């Protein structure tokens, strides 16, 4: 199996797991924040809905125009706006949006060739420098999705621990 195919499968699997978990949760669990500075599951879902098409489209853009700058920093307005707008979004709509953008991203990635992943271009984020598109795929899609799946599980674990603790008092 090719590296590209494995990455696509991993992204799909992480997204499917995120969606499956979220669909089973009551709204109060989705909205619960472990701490003021920690994202709720709802905020994570809003971020995932934005990140999937962003990074897959960035890879496609660089593949079609090698050498063009790619990426963004943590202060990127669209990235921040996706989470900032979360209070106005319905969780069911966001979950459906994650499913939709996953299919978009998988379609984009399926349109690429394995050799497109070897194309190197400079990042707008100076900490990354010049990287091949395999880096973007592996770190900013595959790992990023796994990390957010883990973040959702940590939120659920923390909520369960908080419930046990409040039951002891």
Q: Which residue has the higher pLDDT, 91 or 169?
A: 91
Give CA–CA dist 124/71, Å, rounded: 6
The total of structural domains in the chain comes to: 1
CB 56, CB 109: distance < 8 Å: yes
The percentage of residues in the chain with a pLDDT greater than 90, rounded to a whole number, is 85
Q: Is the sign of the CA dihedral 68, 116, 5, 126 positive or negative?
A: negative
Say if CB 89 and CB 35 are below 8 A apart. no
Which residues in 19-149 belong to E strands, given as ranges?
A: 120-122, 130-132
61: domain CATH number?
1.20.120.450
pTM: 0.94
Average pLDDT, the chain: 94
Structural domain including 111 reads 3-168
């Amino acid at each position: 199996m090719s590296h590209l195919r494995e990455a696509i499968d991993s992204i799909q699997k992480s997204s499917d797991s995120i969606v499956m978990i979220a669909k089973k949760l009551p709204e109060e669990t989705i909205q619960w924040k472990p701490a003021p500075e920690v994202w709720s599951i709802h905020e994570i879902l809003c971020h995932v809905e934005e990140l999937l098409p962003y990074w897959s489209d960035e890879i496609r853009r660089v593949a079609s125009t090698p050498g063009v700058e790619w990426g963004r920093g943590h202060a990127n307005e669209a990235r921040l706006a996706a989470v900032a707008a979360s209070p106005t979004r319905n969780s069911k709509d966001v979950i459906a949006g994650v499913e939709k953008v996953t299919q978009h991203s998988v379609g984009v990635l399926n349109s690429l060739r394995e050799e497109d992943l070897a194309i190197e271009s400079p990042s707008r984020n100076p900490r990354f420098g010049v990287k091949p598109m395999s880096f973007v795929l592996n770190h900013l899609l595959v790992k990023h999705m796994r990390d957010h799946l883990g973040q959702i599980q940590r939120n659920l674990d923390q909520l369960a621990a908080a419930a046990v603790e409040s039951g002891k008092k």
